[in-house]
Chains A and B, each alone.
Chain A
Amino acid sequence: MPKSAKVSSLINLIGVFALYFLFLAIFESGIFGAKTDYFKGIATTACYTIIMVTSLNLLVGIMGEFSLGHAGFMSVGAYASAVFTNAIANSGIPDFPMFLLALLVGGAAAALTGFLVGVPALKLRGDYLCIVTVAFAEIIRVCFTNFKITGGGRTMSGIAKLSDFYWVYWVTVVCVTLMFLLIRSRFGRTVRAIREDYIAAEASGVNVTFYKVATFTISAFFAGVAGAIYAHYMTAMIPTSFNFAYSAEFLTEVIIGGAGSMTGSIIGATFLSALPEAMRTFARYRMLAYSIVLVIVMIFRPGGIFGTWEFSLTRLLKKIFRVKGTAPGGKGADAAKAGKTGKGASV
């Protein structure tokens, strides 16, 4: 492992812990008083939205295909994990392992669905694929509305409240880090090549179908994990929440943040999920605000606010350090390298 990579992973780890302790301090000191739980809830919402948007960014930004059915995968994860935890509710498993199991079940169920949908659907590209993803999410919704086990169209309630914010925070860190590390490996490089020119990729020895299905499956897995968090945070849900508008919302957040930029996805998801919650009175204008923001972003920054730029804590620290004067030699190459391998998990 190159030294610069070691240093930046350490820096990122410290950054993630610092953020964690910041949240801990804010919530545990009780400065919000009675509203603490409310703000914790918003933070939890932001977390699973971050997982949703970054996982969708794998498809949109890295693989270059639009999906308008990501809420479908989320609902598969949500319902699968809820059914699972309901089934083993009295087995005496402590909450934390139970929570992790629920996430795995939700992720696995969504990944399997993603694989089954992806194999036939990924023969298509562009608009056609997009339409199939819409159709998929609708089919899932109709299924869950009619299955008895998922509540048969009524609200499925009584799901164990397992999604504690502090756990969810770390799950989000792990999920985003995993996706980031995958993107910055030969896997991500290959998938980006497919986005750029699938014919040339195939002619360079890339099994295009394999990589596309794999990306689709991985993306669905993380959507399923987010769904599991959602289910065990809400404790009650109805299939119609995972509708077209919800899918469209995720896609909007990817586009606004910048397709291909994990940083953009994280910041976009945080703001767009937390703001309307925080300003309840404006909640009804949420979709209107989205559209306006989208139009403005598309006019002035067609690549999204962050384009494909990634935030790097290491780079930032170096910059601050250098501004203060005593920068060591060879800074250009060093900083570039840090930017490339750095960042890791700076949520």
Chain B
Amino acid sequence: MTEKKAVSAEVPKETPVLKAVHLGISFGGLKAVDDFNMEIGRSELVGLIGPNGAGKTTVFNLLTGVYKPTEGAFYLNGKKMNGRKTYQVVEEGIARTFQNIRLFKKMTVLENVKVAMNKDMHYSPLASIFRTNSFWREEHDTDERAMELLDIVGLGDKKDAMAMNLPYGQQRKLEIARALGTNMRLLLLDEPAAGMNPVETDELLDIINNIRRTFGISVLLIEHDMSLVMRVCERIQVIDYGVTIAKGTPEEIAHNPRVIEAYLGKQAEKEVLNMKDASGHVIGEEGSAAAADAEPDKAEKPDETAGAGTPNR
């Protein structure tokens, strides 16, 4: 963790961690993402919101090299990332979680995290055959670091459980721990609170704040739970039909008429009110719970996408 800080320090302060310029992709005739521009600074937390099918996950797929952009480019710490394969992008320091949870189901919780740490392990196949000291030392060190990450997301006591046997909320947390295992600088979270109850959502919020403090990483967050977005994000970017329709502070977004029309106009009026509340006027405990309840269809979305077998990961 300390070595990462040293690397980041070499980069001039002004260089944004992530910079996307005119990023775009079309599937056949459909422009899923168009002219996407974004800058994320060090330790910043930016929200990416928009109605269903707006193109949020597609942005993540572009930023992780799953899709090749048909237009534009993106840079990590000033380094151009276009055309890199997913694992290469991860090596450079972008990690993600998935909207429809993708864990290594029949592996233990600890192993899930250790897989992500494999890229920073060095012992050779010969070392594993002869079980040399470097093998034991590195496995042991990796175990310890993986346990640190599991403790951060509160799964330390579950390390030997099979990933598939975890409850839903904990599976999402394990995805975060696994992403942290790649030792990244930019963390992309795709609807981490989907399917979580209000208590778990609050824990998630603590986790996100905690990892930003501890590792000094930047976070790009896709989330439908408005109260969560409004509470944690420093800036928010709203997209609709692949096009950016607003950028700004949570306060500005909450009062932006285009956003309300495109995104929230379809929701119950109560939702709009909640958003305004959450953005700073009156924050109540019921506010967050109500916001989560107001979107039962969204919460179920991950399973739908998984079941339909869309190429959208």
Contact = CB atoms under 8 A, between A and B. Distances in A.
Bound together: yes
A29 interface: no
Contact of A206 (B87, B111, B131): B87
**Contact count band on A:** 20 to 34
A200 B102 contact: yes
Interface stretch (A69-77, A183-191, A225-233, A312-320): A183-191
Given A203-B95, A206-B118, A1 B102 contact: no
Given A196-B104, A196-B105, A206 B125 contact: no
Interface in A203-244: 203-208
A200 B306 CA distance: 14
B103 A200 contact: yes
B116 A204 contact: yes
B182 A204 contact: yes
A181 B181 contact: no
Contact of B131 (A1, A189, A200): A1
A208 B136 contact: no
Nearest to B113: A204
Contacts of B103: 196-197, 200
B119 A192 contact: no
B115 to A, nearest CB: 4
A190 B104 CA distance: 10
Given A205-B90, A205-B116, A196 B106 contact: yes
Interface in B11-50: none
A207 B133 CA distance: 26
Contacts of A207: 85, 87
A206 B119 contact: yes
B166 to A, nearest CB: 14
B109 to A, nearest CB: 13
A202 interface: yes
* Interface class of chain A by DSSP: helix
A202 B118 CA distance: 12
Indicate the member of B103, B115, B135 with the most A CB atoms within 10 Å.
B115
Contacts of A181: 128-129, 131
Interface in A153-209: 178, 181-182, 184-187, 189-190, 192-193, 196-197, 199-208
B61 to A, nearest CB: 10
B96 interface: yes
Interface of A: 1-2, 5, 9, 178, 181-182, 184-187, 189-190, 192-193, 196-197, 199-208
Interface of B: 64, 66, 85-87, 90-91, 95-96, 98, 102-107, 111-112, 114-116, 118-119, 121, 123, 125, 128-129, 131, 133, 135-136, 139, 178-179, 181-182, 313
16 contacts: A1-B136, A2-B136, A181-B129, A182-B129, A184-B128, A185-B123, A186-B121, A189-B114, A193-B111, A196-B106, A200-B98, A200-B104, A203-B90, A204-B90, A204-B181, A205-B118
